[in-house]
């Protein structure tokens, strides 16, 4: 019994199908252009991380990334030592160590402030088992309104037991 040989037309057809299958995806990728994509359909999920540069952004977007909305150097009693224009600080009378900052153009619920203690005059003692001051930022609904940025300062003390308590401490804050 002999094995039948494939006919020339069937070999040509299979070869063409393989070439189309392999090249078809790469051809489609080069055919789609930005003009063919419906506005608003590409989202951040569709963009590869790290693939966009400054040249891909509008000048307004680049400016907003460089903008600091406000900054302040605040004493423990809530007095502003220095600040950008328009920044106001309200020290909570109910919650020790809680400060509410009003920064023009900033929503306290969505901002990401950065704060640091003023270690020159904080309660931190640079020695083992001595008090250490801490600062945190966020939106503190119990003390601040939605358009304010919250800053909490605390002091950790050591002894027979370690405690972390709200404490009025001086700090610096930047609100990008």
Query: What rounded mean pLDDT belongs to the chain?
Result: 80
- Tell me the average pLDDT across 13-37: 62
Is 99 in contact with 91 (CB distance < 8 Å)?
Answer: yes
Question: Encoding tokens for residue 83?
Answer: 């600040």
- Tell me the average pLDDT across 25-47: 71
- 19 pLDDT exceeds 60? no
- 64 pLDDT exceeds 70? no
Q: What is the pLDDT of residue 15?
A: 61
DSSP bridge pairs for 35: none
Strands (E), 64-159: 70-74, 80-83, 88-91, 98-102, 114-117, 132-138, 148-157
Q: Which of 46-55, 59-68, 70-79, 124-133 has the lowest mean pLDDT?
A: 59-68
């Amino acid at each position: 019994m002999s094995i039948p040989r494939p006919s020339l037309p069937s070999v040509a057809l299979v070869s063409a199908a393989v070439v189309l299958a392999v090249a078809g995806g790469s051809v489609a990728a080069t055919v789609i252009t930005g003009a063919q994509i419906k506005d608003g359909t590409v989202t951040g999920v569709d963009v590869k991380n790290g693939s966009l540069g400054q040249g891909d952004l509008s000048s307004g977007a680049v400016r907003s990334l460089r903008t600091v909305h406000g900054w302040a150097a605040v004493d423990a009693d809530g007095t502003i030592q220095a600040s950008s224009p328009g920044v106001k600080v309200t020290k909570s009378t109910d919650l020790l160590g809680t400060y509410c900052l009003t920064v023009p153009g900033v929503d306290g619920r969505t901002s990401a402030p950065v704060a640091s203690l003023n270690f020159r005059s904080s309660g931190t003692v640079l020695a083992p088992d001595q008090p250490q001051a801490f600062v945190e930022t966020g939106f503190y609904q119990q003390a601040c309104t939605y358009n304010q940025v919250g800053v909490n300062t605390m002091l950790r003390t050591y002894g027979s037991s370690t405690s972390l308590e709200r404490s009025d401490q001086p700090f610096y804050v930047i609100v990008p």
